[in-house]
Amino acid sequence: MKFFMKLTATVLLSLASISALGYFFWYKPKFASTAKKSAFTPAKNEAAKAILLRLKQKANDIAAYAKEHAYNSEYCFMVDMKIESGKKRFFVYNLKKDSIELSGLVTHGSGKTDEGQIKFSNTPNSLCTSLGKYKIGNSYTGKFGLAFKLYGLDASNSKAFERFVVLHSHSCVPNEETAPFPICESWGCPTVAPAFLTALKTYIDDADKPILLNIYY
């Protein structure tokens, strides 16, 4: 009887180990040398339609703001924080064609409410994402390698530069979606996959005027 119980326990432990190992290799971020440059195609349901409609409305607002304040009028970067972190929610939006040109995963800040919902804040040391429009500034090499300075243009993100909120990459962010599993969180910076940042750098470097980033909810 004891032998049978030990044998059963050994088999169950082995199965659990194999399952855990399989999950690790499935969930472990895998990076390509370059991010896939393809249009975002949301599922055809009411929620996805609402996301796309909201994106287009926000992009129209950005287009008007860019024209009025002499920012880049061809492209903008959009982040929809209503989309879960395991799904692509960072969009390169072509304002001329009124369409999404590239999409990728992006973190949000680790500050949360007790209910586990995302908390947004402009307060230093809050570790939260700040909503609003940002001017993407010059690149530099920081703690996480290539990064771009961000300047908050709204009351809701006016302290972004003071808080050292920047656009950078980290190896914890994969290229492909992980939903329903979330990705890692940041201390308030919009953090993307290394390959995706390389793709974004091309747009930033080729722009004749500063590109706007809009993080909204």
CB 192 within 8 A of CB 213: no
Q: How does the average pLDDT of the chain come out, rounded?
A: 85
| pLDDT one-digit tens code per residue, 145-183 | 999 999 999 999 999 999 999 999 999 999 999 999 999
Query: Hey, what CATH class is 31-216 in?
Result: mainly beta
For the segment 95-129, what is each residue's pLDDT rounded down to a tens digit?
999 999 999 999 999 987 667 789 999 999 999 99
SS3 112: strand
Q: Position 75: which residue type?
A: Y
85 half-sphere exposure, CB direction, 13 A CA radius: 21
Question: Would you list the domain boundaries of the chain?
Answer: 1-30, 31-216
The pTM assigned to this predicted structure is 0.80
